[in-house]
Structure 1
Amino acid sequence: MKQLLILVIPLLIMSACGPTLKVSSDVDKQANFNAYQTFALYNPAGEQSPLSQLNRNRINNAIVAAMIAKGYTQSQDTTTADLLVNPVTIAKPGQNVTAYTNYYGYGGFYRPYFWGGGMGMASSNTTFTVDKYIDGSLIIDVVDRVRRQLLWQGVGNSQIDGPVKDPDIKIPEAVNKIMASLPRRM
C-alpha cells in the first residue's frame, strides 16, 4: 500500500500543476436567445489559423455539439441561419522570467545588515530563468446574422508547452468549458 501511495501522489501533484484553461465570457443582456433557432459556423477570416486541419475540425465539431446541446439547430447555409458562430484561434510566443538572488548563501529572504543601523556591502548572486511557451487563445463569437451584432463571446486562454495529449478528449472539454455560459434556448 505504501509503494502505491509513493507512485500515485507524485502523479496527482504533476497532473494538478499542468496549464489550466482560463475562461471568460460576455453576453448582450438585451438579447433574447429564445428568438434564435438556427446557427451556422462562419469564419470570415478564412482558414488562417495556427492549428492543423484536424484540430480545427475537432473545435468545429465540439462547437456544433455544444450548440445543439443548448437547443439550437445547425444550418449549413450562412445566409439563412439566425446565428453565426465564429471560432478564432490565436497563438503567440510568451515567456516568464524569474529572478533569484542569493545573499551570502542565505537565500533571497535574509539580507545582511551591519550593527549600528547601516547597510553592509552585500555580495549577491542573481540568477535569471526564462521559460518560453505559446500563449494560446480560442475565441468563440456568436453573432446575430441579420443585425451583424455580437450577442455572446467566450474566450479560453492557456499556456501551451507542447502538443495536446488526447486532443479528441481535451479539445471538446475546452470548448464545452468556454461555451458553458452561452444562454440555452428554451
Structure 2
Amino acid sequence: MKLLKFIPVLGLFALTACSSIQVSTDYDSSVNFSQFKTYAFMKSGIDDSPISDLDKKRILKAVEAELSAKGYTKSDNPQLLVNIFTESQQNVNVNTYYGGWGYRPWGWNPWMYGPGYSSVSVNTEGILYIDILKADNKELIWQGKGSGYLTSNKNKKDEKIKEFAQKILSELPQ
C-alpha cells in the first residue's frame, strides 16, 4: 500500500527531470511588479543579438504570447522595456566502451568480450536571456536565463523557443 502512494510522487519527479531547459532568474526585490501593465521591446538591444532575423521573430512572438498571458499589454508608451540576447556553444560528447577479455583499470572482468568502441556526438547548447527594465530610467529590474539544447528542425525549433520563453517567464514576479 505504501508503494502505491509513492508511485505518483516518483512520476512527478520523472516528469520534472525530463525538462531539457534549465532556468535561473534574478530580480530587484524592492520593486513592486504588480504596478506594471505595459511593455515594449527594446529595439536597439534586440537588433544587436547575433541570431537570424527569423529566430528573433520566433523569440519575440513567444515572449509576447507569454507576457500577454500574464496580463501585460504591448504599448507605444510602455512602463517596461523587454530585451533579449542569446549565446550558444557546441558541446562534443565522447563515449568509450571497453570490450574484450582481460584486465581493465577497474579489475578483471571475464564476462566482457569483443573490441571496444567510441561514439562521438555534437550538439548545440543555447542560452536565452530575457531582461526587463523600467522604461523611464532603463534600470534592470528582472533577468531570466534559460539554457538547453537546440534543434535545427524548423517545427521543433518553434516549439523549443516557445518552451524557453514559457519556462523563463514563468519565474517573472506578478
TM-score of the two chains, using structure 1 as the length reference:
0.66
Over 3 Å counting, the alpha-carbon distance change for 1:101 and 1:40 in structure 2 is same
Contact map agreement 1:100 1:108 (CA 8 A) in 2? no
Structure-2 residue corresponding to 1:180? 170
Shift of 1:83: 0.8
| AA partner of residue 107 (structure 2) | R
Unaligned runs of 5+ in 2: 1-17, 109-114
Shift of 1:86: 0.5
Structure-1 residue corresponding to 2:40? 40
Structure-2 residue corresponding to 1:83? 80
Tell me the distance in 2 between the aligned counterparts of 1:145 and 1:159: 32
SS at match of 2:155: coil
Tell me the distance in 1 between the aligned counterparts of 2:79 and 2:62: 19
Tell me the distance in 1 between the aligned counterparts of 2:19 and 2:172: 24
| AA partner of residue 26 (structure 1) | D
Tell me the distance in 2 between the aligned counterparts of 1:82 and 1:108: 64
Equivalent residue pairs, number: 152
TM-score of the two chains, using structure 2 as the length reference:
0.70
Matched, 1:147 2:147: no
Shift of 1:140: 0.5
Correspondences of 1:17-36 after superposition (within 5 Å): 20-36=20-36
Higher helix content, 1 or 2: 2
Correspondences of 1:102-121 after superposition (within 5 Å): 102=99, 105=101, 110-112=106-108
Moved more, 38-47 or 172-181: 38-47
Q: Which has the larger radius of gyration?
A: 1
Shift of 1:128: 5.0
Tell me the distance in 1 between the aligned counterparts of 2:146 and 2:92: 19
| AA partner of residue 124 (structure 2) | I
RMSD: 3.0
| AA partner of residue 22 (structure 2) | K
Shift of 1:71: 1.9
Contact map agreement 1:24 1:154 (CA 8 A) in 2? yes
Over 3 Å counting, the alpha-carbon distance change for 1:180 and 1:50 in structure 2 is same
Structure-2 residue corresponding to 1:60? 60
Tell me the distance in 1 between the aligned counterparts of 2:146 and 2:32: 24
